[in-house]
Chains A and B, each alone.
Chain A
Amino acid sequence: MKPRPSHYARAFVDSIASGTSGQAAREGLVRALAKNGDTHRLAQVVYEIEKIETQSHGGHMVQMEFAREPEKHLESTLHKQFTKDDLITIALNPSLIAGTRITLDESRELDLSLAGKMRALFTHY
């Protein structure tokens, strides 16, 4: 059975915690990925490592999607709601039409996009 990205990430974080240098841990991770033919999953592994790191400090994984490039003051309004321990990633998604969709810890979705509101409206009526 092939290891999942979360398994690689956990192994990487554990090796760092056990005192392995960052360089050696990175090389070990790349070797393991190459050996299992999983190099194309590197981005997922990195995301999993970030997730472990963030959650270990009590932070949240925050993904913000905007319909278009947000105004600076609007972006900062949202950023103010989070702490430095939270990991925030931003993506553009024109299908939202307007507004934003925020996902917390991959589980809680706060859909304040116009497309989401329309969908909710259509679902109810």
Chain B
Amino acid sequence: MSQLFSQLGIEPVALIWQALNFIVVLVVLFYFVYTPLSELVAERSKKIEKGLEDAVCAAGELSRAEEAFEARLSEAENEALGVMRQAEQDAQAHSQKLVAKGEERATAIVAEARTLAAHARDEEMWALEDRAKEFVTSVLAKTVALDPRAVDEALIAQAADLVRAELHAQKAA
């Protein structure tokens, strides 16, 4: 064996020392390089896994948020539609009310105008009637003035009869 080592140019002692050196280096590397690197890699893996999990969670959250948003949007649309319908109904009702009020006012104005017209017509009729009465009276007065005695005689005879009847009635009473 030692012959073989010598033929190969290997010193056994040096080999042992080199082996020992190697082991020492190996131990040192294991404790000071490999272990921290492993921990670092493990930690990094964990972070990546957590990041992936978080991403999945975030995607889920996003999906839920989108669903909620869609639901809210739909609800808002429905609400807006309802508000618009209500506004339309209100506007229609208000419009009908205004039209009814306008019609009522128009009817009142027409009635008032009719009343005024009737009143004016009545006044004209009364004025005409008064003029007619005055005219008839003046014509009769002029007619009577032609022969007042005859009219007086007739009327006073009637008055005498009426006085007689009146006094008779008073006595009887």
Q: Which residues of B contact A66 (CB under 8 A)?
A: 152
- Chain B's closest residue to A79 (CB) is B160
Do B133 and A99 touch across chains, with their CB atoms under 8 A apart? no
Whether, in the assembled complex, A91 has its beta carbon less than 8 Å from a beta carbon of chain B, the answer is: no
Do A110 and B152 touch across chains, with their CB atoms under 8 A apart? no
**Chain B interface category by residue count:** 20 to 34
Q: A122 to nearest B CB, angstroms? A: 5
- Chain A's closest residue to B153 (CB) is A74
Whether, in the assembled complex, B159 has its beta carbon less than 8 Å from a beta carbon of chain A, the answer is: yes
* Residue from A78, A81, A82, A102 whose CB has the most chain B CB atoms within 10 Å: A81
* Chain A residues numbered 52-89 whose CB sits less than 8 Å from any CB in chain B: 60, 66-68, 70-71, 74, 77-78, 80-82
Whether, in the assembled complex, A115 has its beta carbon less than 8 Å from a beta carbon of chain B, the answer is: yes
Do B144 and A78 touch across chains, with their CB atoms under 8 A apart? no
Do A78 and B148 touch across chains, with their CB atoms under 8 A apart? no
- Chain A's closest residue to B133 (CB) is A122
Task: Choose from B144, B157, B160, B167 the contact partner of A97 (Cβ within 8 Å).
Answer: B144
Do A81 and B163 touch across chains, with their CB atoms under 8 A apart? yes
Contact A100 to B151, CB < 8 A, known contacts A81-B164, A114-B140, A118-B140: no
* Chain B residues numbered 21-55 whose CB sits less than 8 Å from any CB in chain A: none
Q: Which residues of A contact B166 (CB under 8 A)?
A: 104, 108, 110
Do B156 and A74 touch across chains, with their CB atoms under 8 A apart? yes
CA distance A74 to B156 in the complex (A): 7
The digit string for A104-120, where 1 denotes a CB below 8 A from any CB of B, is 10001010111100100
Contact A78 to B159, CB < 8 A, known contacts A71-B149, A97-B144: yes
Whether, in the assembled complex, B99 has its beta carbon less than 8 Å from a beta carbon of chain A, the answer is: no
Q: A109 to nearest B CB, angstroms? A: 10
Do B136 and A68 touch across chains, with their CB atoms under 8 A apart? no
Give me 12 A-to-B residue pairs in the complex whose CB atoms sit less than 8 angstroms apart, sorted by A's number.
A68-B148, A81-B164, A81-B167, A82-B163, A82-B167, A97-B141, A99-B156, A99-B158, A110-B159, A112-B155, A112-B159, A118-B137
Known: A97-B140, A118-B140. 13 other contacts (CB 8 A): A67-B148, A67-B152, A74-B156, A77-B157, A78-B156, A80-B160, A98-B144, A99-B152, A100-B155, A110-B162, A112-B159, A113-B155, A114-B151
